[in-house]
Structure 1
């Protein structure tokens, strides 16, 4: 599956560690950095709203938000379109995913297409935080002539509207944002996904999620252990096959927290310069985290690079992707 461009967007409002300290919820900059390595996060919510309410009423957050998922997704899509030198009308299908959709029905991809002003087939493919990897895996298995020349894949998250800001263990983790990818099964580009896998463990589906009341919950220790093990396994497998032929073997993981990612790097021998991440400045942004990191480094990719993406999520689910970079087209 050819990858023509990436795009990303994050809202302007910043939840800093100092902001969380001032909420008087028993946390501090040192406590946060030691446990999760996160400095800042972005939110669609007004900061005064968080200060005054600590987001106790999750449904009220829908009214208070400054951006909808579809608006952020469209912003990241426009960035990807500009990089690919394409127009919205060149897109023949929109696929979307989210752990924190704005509505149950219709598909959120329809709202994204409407924001872009295009009338094309729209569907959602969602496996929580692993959605981007799952989307690439299943789209790559379709017959090339069954897809339009260009497909827009968008993953958008407004996780902060499901965060209880009186709970320090949750408040320090999450941020909002979106990522977009323009892919093609027929039109060549210098970047291509040459390997993709997806799996899940449904027996553990209750370990992490967002419930009927839009409240985020998780069994933190179990989820952290799962994330480290599955990511390590995926990176090792990809490294064994592709590292020797890559000019640089770069790792991008699910942006859960910096501690998890650092442990994976230590276990798999990934050096700091070949570990791309953004969790320290944007927090855990769910399914848009890993693709947003790729987008942030899009102008840095070089011929001969191999980018291993190992992404885990609720379900429990996981996806492993190998992106190779060829010469300029």
Structure 2
């Protein structure tokens, strides 16, 4: 499976730490930076709406939002298509997934495809924040002849609409963002997905929840420990797989992009797995936790960065509890 391009979109409204202080959350920039390392986040919601309501009513938030999920997903997809040199009509399948869809049905992917004018099947395959690597796992496991020439994967997470802004433990984390990826099972692209992982522990299903009509909740300390442990295990597994096939390479040759939950969690994984500073990419400090769009969004922001090297490991975790990962290897000239 080849990765031809990535795209991303973040809405313009910013939730700074100062803004959260002004909401009266009994927090401070020093407290936020010490615990989660996040300076700012994006939101689809009007700032005045948050000042007035603190988002007490999630139904009202959906109406107040300046962008729908379909709109933000389509913007990320247009960037990916432009980078790939393709048109919406080239896409033969759309796959979506994330944490907070606009509707139960139709699938979020249908709404994005409708916005883009794509006339093709559209389905959702989601495992919350770990959705992107989960989608790669299933797509790479399919027989290539059963897939179209090009597949569009869209991850939309405008989750500030389900955050209670009187709860500082949640409010300091979440930001809104969307990502999109153009894949092909046959046409060579810039990167190739050479290995994926998917695992889960359904006994932890209660630990991270967004009810149908209600606010995001999580068992913070337990989830953080889970995320650090499983992210590290997945990174070491995929990194070991790459090094076994490339004897001349070392850990310093592999770029790590983790689930953008919070910077302190990512730094813990980096230390435990001995990832060099230059090989750890993230954007959570300025984007917040953008759910399923987090890790692919980081890679999208570095799409033309030569310092990525020849191998990237994505290692993500999500509600369920689920964890997944993907090893991407650069397609070098003359490589089949």
For the aligned pair, the TM-score class normalised by the smaller chain equals: over 0.9
Q: Is the 8 A contact 1:9 1:75 kept in 2?
A: yes
Tell me, in whole angstroms, the C-alpha distance in 1 between the residues paired with 2:230 and 2:306: 26
Tell me, in whole angstroms, the C-alpha distance in 2 between the residues paired with 1:40 and 1:167: 17
Return 296-305 or 188-197, whichever deviates more: 296-305
1:94 aligns with 2:98: no
Query: Match of 1:319?
Result: 324
Unmatched segments (≥5 aa) in structure 1: none
TM-superposed deviation, 1:238: 1.8
Tell me, in whole angstroms, the C-alpha distance in 1 between the residues paired with 2:200 and 2:308: 33
Tell me, in whole angstroms, the C-alpha distance in 1 between the residues paired with 2:175 and 2:214: 15
Return 95-104 or 212-221, whichever deviates more: 212-221
Query: Match of 1:248?
Result: 253
1:281 aligns with 2:286: yes
* SS at 2:165 equivalent: coil
Query: Match of 1:190?
Result: 190
Return 33-42 or 113-122, whichever deviates more: 113-122
TM-superposed deviation, 1:303: 8.4
TM-superposed deviation, 1:305: 1.4
Alignment counterpart, residue 257 of structure 1, candidates 262, 265, 272? 262
Q: Is the 8 A contact 2:256 2:275 kept in 1?
A: yes
1:207 aligns with 2:207: yes
Query: Match of 1:153?
Result: 153
Tell me, in whole angstroms, the C-alpha distance in 2 between the residues paired with 1:108 and 1:250: 31
Query: Match of 2:314?
Result: 309
Q: 1:328 to 1:180 in 2, by over 3 A?
A: farther
Tell me, in whole angstroms, the C-alpha distance in 1 between the residues paired with 2:89 and 2:253: 35
Aligned residue pairs: how many?
329
Q: Residues 260-301 of structure 1, C-alpha deviation per residue, up to 9 Å, x if partnerless?
A: 000000000101111000000000011110000010000014
Tell me, in whole angstroms, the C-alpha distance in 1 between the residues paired with 2:3 and 2:306: 12
Q: 1:328 to 1:292 in 2, by over 3 A?
A: farther
Q: Residues 40-75 of structure 1, C-alpha deviation per residue, up to 9 Å, x if partnerless?
A: 000000000001110011110001000111111100
Tell me, in whole angstroms, the C-alpha distance in 2 between the residues paired with 1:326 and 1:133: 19
Tell me, in whole angstroms, the C-alpha distance in 1 between the residues paired with 2:260 and 2:82: 26
**CA RMSD of the aligned region, Å?**
1.3
TM-superposed deviation, 1:313: 0.3
* SS at 1:24 equivalent: coil
TM-superposed deviation, 1:245: 3.2
Query: Match of 1:12?
Result: 12
* SS at 1:270 equivalent: coil
Q: Is the 8 A contact 1:301 1:325 kept in 2?
A: no
Query: TM-score normalised to the size of structure 2?
Result: 0.96
1:296 aligns with 2:301: yes
1:229 aligns with 2:234: no
* SS at 1:299 equivalent: coil
Q: Is the 8 A contact 1:8 1:295 kept in 2?
A: yes
Tell me, in whole angstroms, the C-alpha distance in 2 between the residues paired with 1:302 and 1:15: 30
Query: Match of 1:81?
Result: 81
